[in-house]
């Protein structure tokens, strides 16, 4: 991706088969984001308390995303052995004016995954893991 190509939106999700799932949609053009947290019916813990959370800055988040070069991540990260019946499934979709970059995985992550999750948590004020 060329440096002059601008990221318009980023959509990322984490689905846990037995726990919490999250989805974040960041619109860099409008400087807005939405985040969803949901759980299966067996998970009776309370949702994240948003009252005591502070949100981050979209410009800082965008800078962090550019430094990670997530558009260079592999399209798929998966373990080649066995069948995974429980774990985390994640997806990322980056939309630019001319191209869409997508990456996904099941219990296998790109090198900057923890850094990416931390950046999302800093922006939204809720866990993203």
- Distances in Å between the alpha carbon of 98 and those of 64, 73, 94, 114, 124? 21, 18, 11, 28, 27
What is the distance, to the nearest Å, from the Cα of residue 80 to the centroid of all Cα atoms in its chain?
A: 23
80-96 tens-digit pLDDT: 776 666 678 999 999 99
**Predicted local distance difference test score (pLDDT) of residue 53:** 62
**pLDDT top residue among 48 and 75:** 75
In sequence order, what DSSP letters do the residues of 51-110 get, joined into one string? Answer: TT-----HHHHHHHHHHHTGGGS-SEEE-SSS---SSEEEEEEEEESS-EEEEEEES---
**Predicted local distance difference test score (pLDDT) of residue 11:** 98
Q: Is the pLDDT of residue 49 over 80?
A: no
**Predicted local distance difference test score (pLDDT) of residue 2:** 47
**pLDDT top residue among 4 and 20:** 20
Q: What own/partner pairs with CB < 8 Å and gap ≥ 24 does 95-102 have?
A: 95/7, 95/8, 95/9, 95/10, 95/11, 96/1, 96/5, 96/6, 96/7, 96/8, 96/71, 97/5, 97/6, 97/8, 98/5, 99/1, 99/5, 101/1, 101/70, 101/71, 101/73, 102/75
26-44 tens-digit pLDDT: 999 999 999 988 876 565 5
Q: Is the pLDDT of residue 51 over 50?
A: yes
């Amino acid at each position: 991706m060329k440096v002059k190509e601008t990221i318009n939106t980023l959509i990322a999700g984490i689905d846990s088969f037995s726990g919490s799932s999250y989805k974040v949609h960041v619109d860099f053009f409008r400087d807005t984001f939405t985040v969803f947290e949901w759980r299966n019916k067996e998970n009776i813990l309370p949702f994240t308390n948003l009252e005591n959370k502070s949100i981050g800055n979209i410009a800082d988040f965008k800078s962090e995303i550019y430094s990670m070069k997530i558009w260079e991540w592999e399209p798929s990260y998966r373990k080649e052995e066995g069948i995974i019946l429980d774990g985390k499934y994640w997806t990322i979709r980056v939309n630019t004016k001319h191209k869409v970059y997508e990456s996904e995985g099941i219990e296998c992550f790109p090198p900057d995954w923890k850094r990416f999750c931390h950046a999302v948590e800093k922006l939204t004020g809720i866990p993203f893991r």
